[in-house]
């Protein structure tokens, strides 16, 4: 994951996300978390801990490459690390959750392989992230809208390069049905959320 992109905007990142999503970012996280098993959970790319309140009584470990983000996270167990090299033993977690992180990974495949390794047999990973809408016309509209919105936000908060990167990252990866195919975890369910369907949720399962 690209730590330097988020280090400088740690204090405002979650607040701006909430505004840009019209207050729906937590609902999108919750819909994914609700599909995951109870037990010990890894929040991969935990950042400032925006999802902590959603995990309920689960035993939580938050991992993020940016110490500046983790410093604002109130989780009991916080680890600085990268998704491609998870510092945990095999079969450590019942579930792995990740929100708005995949586009920033150096390698999605390496990270999913690592997630599969640290999951217990039968465990599940839940991911929520952004992607262009599936319809070509909607994708074009969304591309123009995100260019204006994210560049404007970047200028307003003094982080133009960071938010310009976030705009470009929306075109970085293929649709989730393709992105997560042929990897060690089985695609159990994919769904779209948000205006024009630019947010996706996916559940990946490790075989028993």
CATH number at residue 183: 3.40.50.150
Query: Does the residue 154 lie in any domain?
Result: no
Measured CA to CA, the distance from residue 1 to residue 145 in angstroms comes to 26
pLDDT at 143: 62
Nearest residue to 100 via CA among 40, 171, 29: 29
**Which stretches of the chain are DSSP H helices?**
3-7, 10-20, 25-33, 67-70, 108-118, 136-156, 160-169, 176-179
Query: Does the residue 62 lie in any domain?
Result: yes
pLDDT at 104: 83
Buried/exposed 109-133: b ≥16 CB within 10 Å, e otherwise: eebbebbbebbbeebbbbbbbbbbb
pLDDT at 130: 85
Query: Does the residue 28 lie in any domain?
Result: yes
pLDDT at 1: 44
3-state class (DSSP) for residue 58: coil
Query: Does the residue 142 lie in any domain?
Result: no
Query: Does the residue 54 lie in any domain?
Result: yes
Which portions of the chain are predicted below pLDDT 70? 1-23, 138-170
Query: Does the residue 163 lie in any domain?
Result: no
Domain residue limits at 21: 3-132+173-205
Query: Does the residue 158 lie in any domain?
Result: no
pLDDT at 24: 83
pLDDT at 197: 80
The total domain count for the chain is 1
């Amino acid at each position: 994951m690209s730590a330097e992109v988020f280090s400088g905007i740690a204090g405002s990142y979650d607040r701006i996300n909430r505004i840009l999503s019209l207050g729906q970012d937590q609902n999108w996280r919750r819909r994914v978390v609700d599909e995951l098993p109870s037990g010990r959970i890894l929040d991969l790319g935990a950042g400032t801990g925006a999802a902590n309140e959603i995990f309920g009584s689960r035993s939580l470990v938050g991992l993020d490459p940016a110490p500046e983000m983790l410093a604002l996270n109130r989780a009991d167990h916080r680890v600085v690390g990268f998704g491609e090299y998870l510092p945990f033993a095999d079969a450590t977690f019942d579930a792995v959750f990740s929100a708005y992180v995949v586009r920033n990974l150096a390698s999605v495949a390496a990270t999913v392989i690592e997630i599969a390794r640290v999951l217990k047999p039968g465990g599940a990973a839940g991911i929520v992230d952004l992607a262009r809408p599936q319809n070509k016309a909607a994708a074009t509209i969304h591309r123009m809208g995100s260019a204006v919105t994210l560049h404007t936000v970047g200028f307003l908060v003094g982080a133009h390069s960071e938010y310009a990167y976030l705009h470009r990252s929306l075109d970085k990866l293929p649709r989730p049905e393709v992105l997560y195919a042929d990897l060690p975890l089985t695609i159990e369910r994919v769904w779209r959320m948000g205006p024009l369907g630019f947010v996706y949720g996916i559940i990946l399962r490790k075989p028993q």
